[in-house]
Amino acid sequence: MKVTSCLIIALSMCMNVPAQKFVANYDEAKIPAYTLPDPLEGISSAADWPTRREAIRRLIAKEMFGHVPSHTATLEIVPDTEPFKILDGKAIVSQPAIKIAGTTWDLMIIRPANPSSPPPAFIAYNFGGNHTVIPDRGVRLPVSWQRKAKNHKAQEADRGSSARRWDVAALMEAGYALVTLYYGDVDPDMNDGFRDGVHAHFGVPKSDEWGSIATWAWGLSKTLDYLVASKIVDAERVSVLGHSRLGKTSLWAGANDERFALVISNNSGCGGAALSKRAIGETVGRINTSFPHWFNGNFKKYNRNESAMPFDSHMLLALIAPRPLYVASAEQDRWADPHGEFLACVGADPVYRLLGTEGLPSRKMPKLNEPTVGRIGYHIRSGKHDVTAYDWAQYIAFANKHLN
């Protein structure tokens, strides 16, 4: 029977028969029975947590995101000599660049024009290039791999196309800086065999080494290195934020680099804040098939096999403790499993409480647009998979609560 099955699969591939269509489950009644591993297994005091934390971090690195290989990569800074003002002079834009591992990352730092001291900051990747965040023609166009616009004319037409996702005015009004860079500068978001971006310098990763998400997380830490050295912002009050695949990235960046003072996941879903064992919406098998470069090779063994995972996203969230953590969902974003994102916060709560914080105030899913906010914050807002002014308002309020 095994031989026959193999022959059928081989013939189907040769005949170019399309693979069976993935049909997502959205019915809570059809979620498989599961048991979440205990993030506090084997420990009973806050003093025991650092050892347990490192064991969990190494497990998730080995089995999912991948370890960063040992390396020598010198970071070189190209300062910006022509900053310019926006928002009627209320904010200043600078564009230093980081050169590392044969790549150049253009940063865009937008900060209040006349701060009395270096401001706290939000750091986040953008999907299309810095020029999509604000429309000003002074913003440099990216020259690396392009997610959308493929030529100079298309890039020019794309200026400011994502501005609605970046509430720059609200950030400046609240006294925060925004640090952003294009994720494609660090590693192209494509299944290219890990031969471009910084991987061209480091080589093709082994099965337990970094996929693209871990590479993007590493890029955020290298950017933080620059912020620490430059003193352009208050590097001790930097909140790392990401949306969707970049929300997975912000969580892993925060898990690995405790210098990030606050961590935000916006609609990160499977492989991010949502519990994988629920197998609802996007699943491990689906995400590894659609985006085989995001995670490491070891993660593939959990395709349609989530029950075998010795960890889940609640343990990823617990790695942020006791630092402030905010997870956000959207009502129409069923693919990202909002309920599973909330349950992961519930699962991380015992770690926060062991470490002496209030953790998540409620174990009951909150109503739409009514955040529950402790040391862990969570909201589900009306609308779809996106970043909105409502989201930014909650993140600013959360940072105000914990970092000021």
The residues assigned a catalytic role are 244, 385
From CA 317, how far away is CA 252, in angstroms rounded? 9
Strand-strand pairing, 325-330 and 262-266: parallel
Residue 388 is which amino acid?
Answer: T
Phi, psi angles (nearest 5°) of residue 396 = -65, -45
SS3 state at 265: strand
SS3 state at 276: helix
From CA 329, how far away is CA 337, in angstroms rounded? 8
Distances in whole angstroms, Cα of residue 192 to Cα of each of 142, 145, 291, 371: 19, 11, 11, 40
Question: What's the half-sphere exposure (Cβ side, CA atoms, 13 Å) at 274?
Answer: 30
Cβ atoms of 322 and 255 within 8 Å: the answer is no
Question: What's the half-sphere exposure (Cβ side, CA atoms, 13 Å) at 139?
Answer: 25
SS (H, E, C) 77-145: EECCCCCEEECCCCEEEECCEEEECCEEEEEEEEEECCCCCCCCEEEEEECCCHHHCCCCCCCCCCCCC
Look at the block and give the residue holding tokens 């020598």.
72
Residue 83 is which amino acid?
Answer: P
SS3 state at 242: strand
Q: What is the b/e burial string over 122-157, where b = at least 16 CB atoms within 10 angstroms of the residue's CB?
A: bbbbbbbbbbbbbeeeebebbebbbbebeeeeebee
SS3 state at 267: coil
Q: Considering only CA atoms, which of 322, 323, 329 is closest in space to residue 344?
A: 329
